[in-house]
Amino acid sequence: MSKNYTLYIKAYTPETIPMARLAQYMQNLAAILGHESAVHFQTLKPGSTQLVTRIDHEDEPKVATHLAQVKRGEGSPEAARAQAEIDRLLAEDNATGFVYEGDDDSAEIIAFPGVSAPRPTTYGPFNQEGSLDGILISVSGADQTVHLQLQNGEIKYTGIDTNRDTARRLAKHMYEPVRIFGTGRWLRDQEGNWILKKFRVDSYSVLAADDLKDVIGQMRNIEGSGWKSMDDPIGALKALREKGNGLH
């Protein structure tokens, strides 16, 4: 008899779970089990929702080894992402879950804390002096407070303010890399991401050639950034500079 593994989802029932949600769980469970061509859907069992899989007999040792690696935190990057995604789905569904082997749901292999996982603490917002690097892409505003935007690879900094005099001088460097200095108001959310709420500019500097290389290096390290594949990023910056100037 073929071995089976089951994902126990402590939410919904086989009759109430949305099909699209079930598909998300199935896709990620397959990635955790690995050897996807050897893993087959068998049935849904009640007891909240139990997603039962069947493993081809000849591939059972491979799948068992893969699961053991995932449990130790040594699985493939794809399996690690799938494990985190199932945990996220369960948290959204206000549930917990686990994977077990065979027909004994006490034979737990991998646990998913889901909604019961401790949430990271939110910090802030708080003020901190510092600087931001990026390409100046916008200077706008009709009152005494002028609003700026900087682009650093895929990251766009907004919520940046300064006075008219500083803005007038900065506008001469539209589409050039600059470093602005001032006080930022930051918040760390529950996912551990740092979010810039506001930044008040006191002064700035136009980045020199050496600084520019550092900024481009930072841009190229950002996942998904188009700067990574550019043969002549400095030339691209010059092209941006020639597209426009003055207040935007």
| pLDDT tens for each residue of the chain, 248 residues long | 678 999 999 999 999 999 999 999 999 999 999 988 899 999 999 989 999 999 999 999 999 999 999 999 888 889 999 999 999 999 999 999 999 999 888 889 999 999 998 876 677 788 999 999 999 999 998 788 999 999 988 889 999 999 999 999 999 999 999 999 999 999 887 767 788 899 999 999 998 755 555 666 665 665 555 555 666 555 555 555 444 443 33
pLDDT, position 142: 78
pLDDT of residue 141: 86
Q: Which two tokens stand for residue 54?
A: 């069947």
Long-range CB contacts (< 8 A, 24+ apart) of 240-244? 240/135, 240/175, 241/174, 241/175, 241/176, 242/175, 243/175, 244/174, 244/175
d(CA 172, CA 247): 8
CA separation, residue 5 to residues 21, 54, 138, 226 (Å): 19, 7, 55, 42
State the pLDDT at residue 193: 78
Q: Cα(23)–Cα(18) distance, rounded to whole angstroms?
A: 9
Q: Is the pTM of this model over 0.75?
A: no
- Taking a C-beta distance cutoff of 8 angstroms, is the pair 108, 22 a contact? no
CATH 2.40.50.140 region(s) of the chain?
123-243
Give the CATH class of 123-243.
mainly beta
CATH 3.30.70 residue spans of the chain: 4-116
Span 4-116 CATH architecture: 2-Layer Sandwich (3.30)
pLDDT confidence of residue 62: 92
Q: Which residues touch 180 (CB under 8 Å, ≥6 apart)?
A: 131, 132, 148, 150, 160, 162, 199, 201, 203, 204
The alpha carbon of residue 206 and the mean position of all alpha carbons in its chain are separated, in whole angstroms, by: 31
E strand spans, the chain: 4-9, 39-46, 49-55, 97-101, 108-112, 123-140, 145-152, 155-163, 177-188, 194-206
